[in-house]
């Protein structure tokens, strides 16, 4: 067995013959995993009668772990592996993150950029607007990329351009939309970046309307989820981004009908997911495969983003697994004044927090994993620096398998709140230190038991050799 400690972050890595664990719960992790090690020993030696010292050792461990489990929340890890380099599962109504993998890592979005382009088109134009293609809009598109062969001077309605954008992933249609709204591709990129910041995206920078590769054109899984969250609230967006096909009628320069067919496996019938309401794929050599998708079951709407997938099957598999996880493993939790009052801390700050709660009308629905209960929820509070405001938030404690933040409730009052941060009561600190001392003592006793056991074996072996 190998045990590795990283002092600063208190990370723990334990390897056994059959198990491999990585955790950051400090001593709690070690105790849990040591117990599993002993249980593994019991399984490997099934039918072998243990000596008294072994039974005592096992009893100590089991008793200790049951004690520790009473104070920590244990949550089963999802039974799937995310293959994409970055991914996120977000509740579309509240923005609550239910699962994430490298959600703030900078990635290239490829054609899922068109979610932002479509959003801005619906916010800044009319569907009956006529787009006239310019030289910049046509010839800035790589000929081997996705397009519908629009020509300079060709006119197309904003409605048909959006169908081409969403279904065919047409890069020339994206350019036409951007130039029609802002006058140039450069100005439209500025509009994209401005809107991204308004939506809370801190790690996104747009250069193109369509997602064709540029080293300065990037985003994150979290930011893309924010864009889709806003997009599905925009009228007509899902009318375009959930279609299998569309026919564009002849134009002033094209006598034939353009037949559009969606290559998105989730929309064209090759792959099926019940409740899907919007989706957009992307691919470039640099970005690899990307996908952003929305699904709805009952009143619950979830968003999944998968970035930098090695192949198309990986992004589809990741997306469907995350949807199943979100729809099947979480229950709705209604948060109101009565609920918050139950979570008041037992210190001097409780009076202030109680007043904040009573003076507001918070009501929100959050999702809580089935393996957790209301007892696992903690009400946090902090005084905002250089102000008289206090911020309250809810979190799930000691949960290393899911994104623990379950939302922030703005409950602020500009009076009767001290400027300095509320100190943790001395009794709480003492209890915390006592607990840590006990756990370290527990580990010491376990180590001592192992040492004595090894020493006895060595002496027995040494004496046997002397007799020989």
Do 185 and 53 belong to one domain?
A: no
Do 323 and 344 belong to one domain?
A: no
Among 297, 328, 359, residue at a domain's last position: 328
> What's the whole-number average pLDDT of the chain?
79
167-171, 263-267, 337-341, 405-409: segment of lowest average pLDDT = 405-409
Comparing 8 with 94, the larger pLDDT belongs to 94
Among 328, 355, 386, residue at a domain's last position: 328
**pLDDT at position 3:** 37
Would the pLDDT of 91 be above 90? Answer: yes
Q: What residue numbers bound the domain in which 365 lies?
A: 332-409
Gap between the Cα atoms of 438 and 401, Å rounded? 26
Do 62 and 98 belong to one domain?
A: no
Do 11 and 137 belong to one domain?
A: no
Domain contains 416 = no
**pLDDT at position 455:** 79
Domain contains 104 = yes
**pLDDT at position 361:** 59
Gap between the Cα atoms of 112 and 282, Å rounded? 5
**pLDDT at position 45:** 54
Residues of the chain with pLDDT > 70, as a percent, come to 71
Q: Provide CB contacts within 8 A for 163, sequence distance 6+.
A: 240, 243, 246, 248, 260
Q: Which of 202, 198, 210, 201 is nearest to 172 (CA)?
A: 210
Q: Band of the pLDDT at 130, cuts 50, 70, 90?
A: very high
Do 314 and 271 belong to one domain?
A: yes
64-68, 181-185, 195-199, 206-210: segment of lowest average pLDDT = 64-68
Domain contains 79 = no
**pLDDT at position 64:** 56
Predicted confidence (pLDDT) per residue in 216-238, tens digit: 999 999 999 999 999 999 999 99
Do 323 and 367 belong to one domain?
A: no
Q: Band of the pLDDT at 410, cuts 50, 70, 90?
A: very low
**pLDDT at position 41:** 54
Do 186 and 307 belong to one domain?
A: yes
Do 314 and 353 belong to one domain?
A: no
Would the pLDDT of 332 be above 70? Answer: yes
Gap between the Cα atoms of 366 and 241, Å rounded? 27
pTM: 0.69
| String of DSSP letters for 247-274 | EEPP-SS--SPEEEE---TTTSSSS--T
Domain contains 414 = no
Gap between the Cα atoms of 298 and 84, Å rounded? 28
Would the pLDDT of 266 be above 70? Answer: yes
Predicted confidence (pLDDT) per residue in 435-457, tens digit: 678 777 888 888 888 888 887 87
Among 261, 294, 328, residue at a domain's last position: 328
Do 242 and 93 belong to one domain?
A: yes
Gap between the Cα atoms of 326 and 320, Å rounded? 10
16-30, 253-267, 452-466: segment of lowest average pLDDT = 16-30
Helix H or strand E encompassing 13: strand 11-15
CB 105 within 8 A of CB 219: no
Would the pLDDT of 72 be above 50? Answer: no
**pLDDT at position 277:** 97
- Residue 234: both structure tokens together: 């925009």
62-66, 385-389, 464-468: segment of lowest average pLDDT = 62-66
Give the count of domains, the chain. 3
Domain contains 258 = yes
Residues of the chain with pLDDT > 90, as a percent, come to 51
The CATH number assigned to the domain holding 96 equals 3.40.710.10
Predicted confidence (pLDDT) per residue in 53-65, tens digit: 555 555 555 555 5
Q: Which of 397, 316, 367, 399 is nearest to 90 (CA)?
A: 367
Gap between the Cα atoms of 59 and 63, Å rounded? 6
Domain contains 420 = no
Do 261 and 198 belong to one domain?
A: yes
Would the pLDDT of 351 be above 60? Answer: yes
Domain contains 139 = yes
Give the mean model confidence (pLDDT) for residues 330-345: 80
Do 60 and 197 belong to one domain?
A: no
Gap between the Cα atoms of 245 and 105, Å rounded? 33
Do 113 and 180 belong to one domain?
A: yes
Domain contains 194 = yes
**pLDDT at position 353:** 74
């Amino acid at each position: 067995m190998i045990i590795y400690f990283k002092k600063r972050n208190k990370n723990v890595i334990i390897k056994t013959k059959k198990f491999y664990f990585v955790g950051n719960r400090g001593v709690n992790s070690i105790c849990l995993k040591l117990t599993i090690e002993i249980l593994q020993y019991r399984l490997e030696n099934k039918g072998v009668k243990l000596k008294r010292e072994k039974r005592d050792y096992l009893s100590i461990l089991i008793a200790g772990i049951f004690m520790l489990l009473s104070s920590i929340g244990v949550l089963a890890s999802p039974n799937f592996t995310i293959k994409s380099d970055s991914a996120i599962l977000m509740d579309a109504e509240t923005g609550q993150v239910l699962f994430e993998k490298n959600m703030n890592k900078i990635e290239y979005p490829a054609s899922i950029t068109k979610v932002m382009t479509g959003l801005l088109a619906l916010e800044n134009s009319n569907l009956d607007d006529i787009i006239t293609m310019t030289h910049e809009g046509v010839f800035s598109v790589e000929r081997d990329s996705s397009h519908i062969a629009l020509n300079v001077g060709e006119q197309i309605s904003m409605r048909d351009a959006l169908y081409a954008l969403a279904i065919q992933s047409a890069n020339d249609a994206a350019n036409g939309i951007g130039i029609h709204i802002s006058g140039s591709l450069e100005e439209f990129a500025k509009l994209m970046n401005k809107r991204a910041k308004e939506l809370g995206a801190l790690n996104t920078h747009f250069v193109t309307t369509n997602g064709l590769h540029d080293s300065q054109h990037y985003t994150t899984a979290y930011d893309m989820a924010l864009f889709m969250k806003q997009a599905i609230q925009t009228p007509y967006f899902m009318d375009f981004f959930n279609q299998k096909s569309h026919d564009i009628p002849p134009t002033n320069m094209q006598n034939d009908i353009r037949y559009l067919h969606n290559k998105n496996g989730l929309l064209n019938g090759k792959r099926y997911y019940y409740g899907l309401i919007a989706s957009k794929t992307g691919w470039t050599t640099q970005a690899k495969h990307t996908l952003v998708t929305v699904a709805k079951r009952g009143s619950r709407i979830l968003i999944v983003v998968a970035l930098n997938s090695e192949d198309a099957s990986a992004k589809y598999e990741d997306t469907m697994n995350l949807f199943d996880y979100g729809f099947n493993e979480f229950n709705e939790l209604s948060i109101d004044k009565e609920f918050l009052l139950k979570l008041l801390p037992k210190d001097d700050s409780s009076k202030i927090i109680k007043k904040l709660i009573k003076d507001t009308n918070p009501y929100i629905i959050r999702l809580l994993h089935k393996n957790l209960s209301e007892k696992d929820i903690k009400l946090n509070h902090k005084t905002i620096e250089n102000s008289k405001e206090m911020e309250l938030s809810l979190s799930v404690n000691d949960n290393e398998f899911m994104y623990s933040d379950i939302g922030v409730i703005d409950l602020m009052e500009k009076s009767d709140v001290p400027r300095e941060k509320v100190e943790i009561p001395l009794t709480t600190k003492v209890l915390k230190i006592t607990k840590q001392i006990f756990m370290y003592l527990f580990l010491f006793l376990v180590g001592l038991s192992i040492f004595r056991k090894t020493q006895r074996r060595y002496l027995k072996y040494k004496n046997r050799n002397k007799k020989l």
